[in-house]
Amino acid sequence: MAAGFTLGEMEVDVVFKDIKNIHLSVYPPAGKVRVAAPLRMNLDTIRVFTISKLDWIKKQQRKFREQDRETPREYLERESHYLWGKRYLMNIVEQDVAPRVELEHHRIVLFIRPGTDERKRQEVVDGWYRNQLRIAAHPLIRKWEQRLEVRIDRLFIRKMKTRWGSCNPSSKSIRLNTDLAKKPKVCLEYIVVHELAHLIEPNHGAKFVELMDHFLPKWRIYREQLNRLPVSHEEWMY
């Protein structure tokens, strides 16, 4: 069940869930505010709680506004692209063959047919990033499944506009944002641990923090590193 209210010019979305505690989230890029609340909690109580957190909300919104943004990519010769936090220059090779991407030293080589438009170039590159992320994620997932004593049944790799990753404990599946392939691998590992930990504790309460502190003591550093990096117009902070 969903509801909402406004505080001045700020709109607050409310989602009622079968949970014990209230949770406040601020989502980039515009700083959208959402409250997840227990099913029987009334809106007045939620409003008072949100007002008490206004300073924190405004701080998070300010972070989003100030975060560096990458210029939109056009998939052209010598354009900068990133893989695992390292910068590469794109090399365009036009051939009448199936499109593909190859990594060669300091270059990302995009093989395309003559006349291929920007949309198709992006599709080819995005597909390559998905594959790179899947290859890197599988050993990390196996590693942390063993350490956390959990197991997932399915992994999904896709573009996501509101999260770096997500977990569905009931279906034992996790989703990873394709653009994690552009970030350092320690950021990917942090997200993998974060999502697998949700199989043990679905919420972000004290128990979840204890899990992260125990299994990945430097997780806050990795989160901060991820959130300091320049983001594209479709990315946000976690």
pLDDT of residue 16: 92
Same domain, 103 and 127: yes
pLDDT of residue 116: 96
Same domain, 103 and 9: no
Q: How far apart are the first and last CA of the chain?
A: 24
User: What is the SS3 assignment for 210?
Assistant: helix
pTM for the full predicted model: 0.74
Same domain, 86 and 120: yes
pLDDT of residue 60: 83
* CATH number for the domain that contains residue 143: 3.30.2010.10
User: What is the SS3 assignment for 182?
Assistant: helix
pLDDT of residue 114: 95
pLDDT of residue 230: 53
At 104, list the tokens: 């060669």
At 236, list the tokens: 């946000």
Supply the range of the domain harboring residue 133: 80-228
pLDDT of residue 67: 62
**CA-wise closest residue to 148 among 108, 195, 185, 105:** 195
Q: What is the CA 229 to chain-centroid distance, rounded?
A: 12
Same domain, 52 and 91: no
Alpha helix (H) residue ranges in the chain: 43-52, 54-66, 118-148, 185-197, 206-215, 219-228
pLDDT of residue 18: 87
pLDDT of residue 205: 81
**CA-wise closest residue to 208 among 224, 196, 192, 223:** 196
Which residue positions in the chain have pLDDT lower than 50? 233-238
- What is the chain's Cα-based Rg? 20
**CA-wise closest residue to 129 among 89, 180, 78:** 180
Same domain, 96 and 37: no
72 located within any domain: no
237 located within any domain: no
Under DSSP, the state recorded for 73 is P
User: What is the SS3 assignment for 2?
Assistant: strand
Phi, psi of 73 (to 5 degrees): -85, 140
Last residue within a domain, chosen from 12, 34, 66: 66
pLDDT in tens, 89-109: 999 999 999 999 999 989 999
Same domain, 56 and 101: no
204 located within any domain: yes
pLDDT of residue 217: 96
Same domain, 93 and 196: yes
